[in-house]
Amino acid sequence: MNHLRLLRSIARLTLVPLSLIGPASAQHPPALAPRVSPQVFPIMAWGGSPSDPESLQLMKQAGLNVSGFCRVEDLDRVRDAGLTCFVSDPQLHKFVAANQATDSEIRDAVAALVSRIVNHPAALGVNLRDEPSVQQMPILGRISAELLKAMPGKLPYVNLFPNYASPQQLGADSYEAHLRQYVKIVKLPYLSWDNYSLSDGEMQPSFYDNLDQVRRVTLEAGIPFWNCILSQALFRYMEPSDATFHLQAYATMAYGGRGIQFFTYFTPEIGNFRLAPIDQFGNRTATWDILRRITNQIHALAPVLVKLRSTGVYHWPVSTAAGTPLLEGVGPGAKLLIGEFADPSGRPYVMLVNKSLRDSTSLRLQPRLAGAKIFRISPVTGREGPFGGEGNWLAPGAGVLLRIEPPPPARP
């Protein structure tokens, strides 16, 4: 067939009525799961909160429920967008920076702030410090105690270093000592930290090690943890993709995380910082849509996750040659992160995460209990349904939350 005849054939095909190709059925996207509140599971843009209503509305559309660190003057705009924020107070920041303040100075500064924000629904709490050393923790603990006493419903915000920080930065001989000092001295009802380990085409082990360290310390303390993950490219870190967002978010949830923050939403005009959800010129990038896809999944899964207790975390096949307490097998060739949970009545759940940033993987699950049934929590609707068929595939970095139903007891 010459080129002219080929073009004519293609043209004729494009004119075939759809009714002759086959029956069509209307396709409607499933209804999104209800939005989870920041008090239940914060989904936060780490950084300064914008002041203009258009930017705030776009953050809401992206699936965020915390716009970042805001001024008192912006609280009404944040509220009108359906968001919350952590208020930044200049006087409290001065105390932390100087690492000193008298008790009366702290009381007076907190009282002045309370009068402005205590009854405002957009004020999720008060921003105090990012990545403090142990030497700054006493002043943070004193300010936090006064804030919680005056406003029990508002959270002081402190975010900790990652595990690759130096002892000089940490102010402690080890990372675990740094975490334990935070729990002992600052005494906040949660622990937040950041870790950026996406490099050389894969997730570096420090990310999982950090999750493990924080999980152990917070389980002992009986408090939840929030993770701040990478949502842009900078330095030697990878450019964002669905896979990088998936792996960071699902790994956090598999370890039992109860909040996810994104560094950052707006691209700063610094060095090689690039491809955050909003670029340096105020335009949406492809990352904005990636962000919305993962936040929608978090909204769907969070209402189930927050009711679960983490019972174990395993890396398949590295640490699970004999299987896990719930699973004997997952299928050949899979490289997975497996988080196991129990709900208040003891029913078992498991989250499986594909650790590859490049390849999809299929699952052939073998529950340890013969005859057990497996149900999937939809990352779109949040509803429970059967698991199997083509649903046993995981995209690069993606995860799935499953409930394992033991077989009924044998009749006597």
What is the side-by-side strand order in the sheet with 399-405? 309-316, 336-342, 348-354, 399-405, 373-377, 384-386
> What is the reported pLDDT for 410?
72
Q: Report the pLDDT value the prediction gives residue 31, as an integer from 0 to 100.
A: 79
pLDDT value at residue 411 = 73
| Secondary structure letter of residue 266 according to DSSP | B
- Sign of the dihedral through C-alpha 109, 111, 114, 116: negative
Q: Which helix (H) or strand (E) holds 175?
A: helix 175-181
Read off φ and ψ for residue 245, nearest 5 degrees. -65, -45
pLDDT for position 333: 85
Per-residue pLDDT, 241: 99
- pTM for the structure as a whole: 0.92
**β-strands 191-194, 155-160: how paired?**
parallel
Nearest to 314 by CA among 323, 305, 306: 323
CA distance 300 to 385: 13
Closest CA to 399 of 371, 372, 369, 378: 378
**Cβ atoms of residues 339 and 310 within 8 Å:** yes
The pLDDT score that the predictor gives to residue 321 is 53
Phi and psi at 86, nearest 5°, equal -100, 120
| Phi, psi for residue 30 in degrees, rounded to 5 | -65, 150
Q: How far is CA 41 from CA 35, 79, 179, 203, 399, in A?
A: 10, 18, 21, 24, 18
Q: Determine the 3-state secondary structure of 335 from DSSP.
A: coil
Angle of the 90-98 helix axis to the 137-150 helix axis, nearest 10: 150
What is the per-residue pLDDT for 12? 43
131: exposed, middle or buried (C-beta count within 10 Å: 0-12, 13-18, 19+)?
A: middle
Q: Tens-digit pLDDT profile for the chain (412 aa)? A: 444 444 444 344 444 444 443 444 566 677 789 999 999 999 999 999 999 999 999 999 999 999 999 999 999 999 999 999 999 999 999 999 999 999 999 999 999 999 999 999 999 999 999 999 999 999 999 999 999 999 999 999 999 999 999 999 999 999 999 999 999 999 999 999 999 999 999 999 999 999 999 999 999 999 999 999 999 999 999 999 999 999 999 999 999 999 999 999 999 999 999 999 999 999 999 999 999 999 999 999 999 999 999 999 999 986 655 568 999 999 888 899 999 999 999 999 999 999 999 999 999 999 998 899 999 999 999 999 999 888 899 999 999 999 999 988 777 7
What domains sit in the chain, N to C, each tagged with a CATH number?
43-305 (3.20.20.80), 309-405 (2.60.40)
Using alpha carbons only, how large is the chain's radius of gyration in Å? 24
